Amino acid sequence: MHVKTDSSSTIPVSITLGFARIGSDEDNASYSGIRHSNGTRNPFWLANRDKPVADNSGEGPGCVRWNAGPACKRSNRDKYELLSGYFDYKFPITVDDNASLSISDCMDRCWKNCSCVGIDSRGENYAYYTGCILFHGSFTADPSGRSAGPYVIKKQTNPSGLDIKDRRWLWILAAVGTVLIMVLAGILMYLRRRRLREKFHNNTTNDIYELENDGNKDESRRELLDWKKRFEIIEEIAQGLLYHHKYSDRG
């Protein structure tokens, strides 16, 4: 923005409102200020010397992500909600009437405090909505919606009551359990087949042993029949045939 003044005045003819960088290249910051429009870079007035618009110092990219959570490790599903109701003042509260603290500053403080459950949406200084009131007690909702709405940290849960991490572990345990059951079933089937195979092998061995014993008995019986006994048997068979032939012709 350029502002021109009267030529008879001692104020410069033209000034510029914009951003200016102060400091060396390694450690510089951007401020909102006013400088002369004659080409000079250094402003003669800064809007806020304590809080630059952008701070380029350090090794980071400039904007720092808010990931320094509390020691109690709040869930990623937890969030602030503006609800109608009131906190129980029997529990201790934390009050800070610093006028430079906004609602976002109070939210940050409460989020990092494990015992904090909500903040007053109007702040400590109701007229300017600055300052912080941190509540550490239980919250009672007002169904009528007429009560002043504080910001309450509400824990979000899924219908199953398990967060994403718990459900991930549940799936892992289910998969491992399924694999173990399949392995156990395979081992049982292998042992059963092995037992049947051993039983069949034992039965086959017993049958072969019995056949060999029967063969040995036949050999012993053949040794008892000498050639003389064999001729006597043949002679008796022949006489029987002749007798049968003789008397069958007469009939």
pLDDT of residue 39: 58
Alpha-carbon span 195 to 231, nearest angstrom: 55
For the stretch 139-156, pLDDT in tens is 777 777 666 667 777 665
Alpha-carbon span 54 to 23, nearest angstrom: 12
Length of the chain: 251
Cα dist from 4 to 38, 40, 42, whole Å: 12, 16, 19
CA torsion, ordered 185, 187, 189, 195, to nearest 10 deg: -150
pLDDT at 90 over 60: yes
Of 56-65, 71-80, 99-108, least confident by mean pLDDT is 56-65
Alpha-carbon span 131 to 154, nearest angstrom: 22
| DSSP structural state of residue 125 | B
For the stretch 170-217, pLDDT in tens is 889 888 989 999 999 889 998 888 888 888 777 776 666 565 555 555
Of 100-114, 127-141, 147-161, 227-241, least confident by mean pLDDT is 147-161
pLDDT of residue 202: 76
Tokens of 83: 């609800």
Buried b or exposed e, range 81-97, using 16+ CB within 10 angstroms: eebebebeeeeebbeee
Which range of 46-60, 77-91, 222-236 scores highest in mean pLDDT? It is 77-91
pLDDT of residue 161: 52
| DSSP structural state of residue 122 | T
Tokens of 46: 């800064």
